[in-house]
Amino acid sequence: MSAPRVVYLSGGVGGARLAHGLGAALGAQSLRIVVNTGDDFEHLGLHISPDLDTVMYTLADMAHPARGWGLETESFEALAMLQRYGAPSWFALGDRDLATHLARSEALRNGQTLTAVTERLRSALGVEPQLLPMSDGPCPIRIETLSHGIVPFQHWLVQSRGELPVHAVHLSSSAPATGEVLAALEWAELIVIGPSNPYVSIDPILALGGVRERVAARPVVAVSPLVHGAAVKGPLAQMIPALANRPAGSDAIAAHYGALLSLLVVEPGDEAGVDGVSVLATNVRITERAASLRLAEEILDWYRQRP
């Protein structure tokens, strides 16, 4: 039974975990991972791509398992010295992580695309599936808060720990999807949307010209990023009431993606109120690699057995 050709849309931590299982279940040849770059930002002159790094480190088995971000084996000597110099230190730059930012930034300055440098970095770390940044241009998300106006995404998420109440998410429409992303979507037989924040991780991908209609032309499985109304990580549970005016729950995820979805995968007990889309209830807590592989295989089984 040959593996279907899958394009996987991913944000950071949650998405990265399922990427691992999909890679194991499918093999690298049948998987292309499109990663959100809406939270990329410049910091101390470095181009930082948090979601690309998280997915890359996770697939390289180098990610810190508990923290979710950054590397498992990491030191923070440079950061301590930056603090001594009074430089901004709100973003936790690890020493080895710094090398990723330095190598990427240098390549971009030399005219390489983000797609090309990502390809080079993931190869160097032995990551086999293609990692495709959604765009080679800047697509900065901005968060409109109730109290502090519009703030850059990372400042909101990291510096303010996502605690400033959100009034709206402003996606950027300035840069296009890459040709590689559009070609991958054409190539795909199945689209899987990871258990990532719909507003700030998946919508930025879907909003790029040419993406949504290509996704919509294929079977789409989304994995809910909520378990019993709580986000696996991040501020999603607080965002849904503010942005969708309803309680945080898998039904809100189903309503958000709407007609795009063929299947929503939810935690058992979270099926209530999910209308107009098939539901697969199974454990979506996939911190362990075995759980990620099991979830990936259940999704592929559904695809193969669907009517």
C-beta of 53 vs 251, nearer to its own copies: 53
Q: How far is the CB of 133 from its own copies (least distance, A)?
A: 17
Which residue from 28, 67, 72, 120 is in contact with its own copies, where contact means CB under 8 A? 120
Q: What sign for the dihedral angle of Cα 217, 218, 223, 225? A: negative
Phi, psi of 253 (to 5 degrees): -65, -45
Does 84 bind its own copies (CB under 8 A)? Our answer is yes
Does 189 bind its own copies (CB under 8 A)? Our answer is no
CA 279/CA 272 separation, integer angstroms:
10
Task: Give the length of the chain.
Answer: 307
C-beta of 42 vs 163, nearer to its own copies: 42
CA 130/CA 187 separation, integer angstroms:
13
Which residue from 44, 158, 242, 243 is in contact with its own copies, where contact means CB under 8 A? 44
Does 75 bind its own copies (CB under 8 A)? Our answer is yes
Which residue from 28, 92, 102, 272 is in contact with its own copies, where contact means CB under 8 A? 102
Does 92 bind its own copies (CB under 8 A)? Our answer is no
Q: How far is the CB of 131 from its own copies (least distance, A)?
A: 14
CA 272/CA 229 separation, integer angstroms:
12
Determine the interface stretch with its own copies among 40-48, 142-150, 162-170, 208-216 (rule: CB under 8 A): 40-48
C-beta of 28 vs 125, nearer to its own copies: 125
CA distances from 255 to 36, 148, 244, 274 (A): 21, 29, 9, 8
Which residue from 1, 85, 259, 307 is in contact with its own copies, where contact means CB under 8 A? 85
Does 103 bind its own copies (CB under 8 A)? Our answer is yes
Binding site for its own copies (CB under 8 A): 44-46, 74-75, 77-82, 84-87, 95-96, 98-100, 102-103, 105-106, 109, 120-121, 124-125
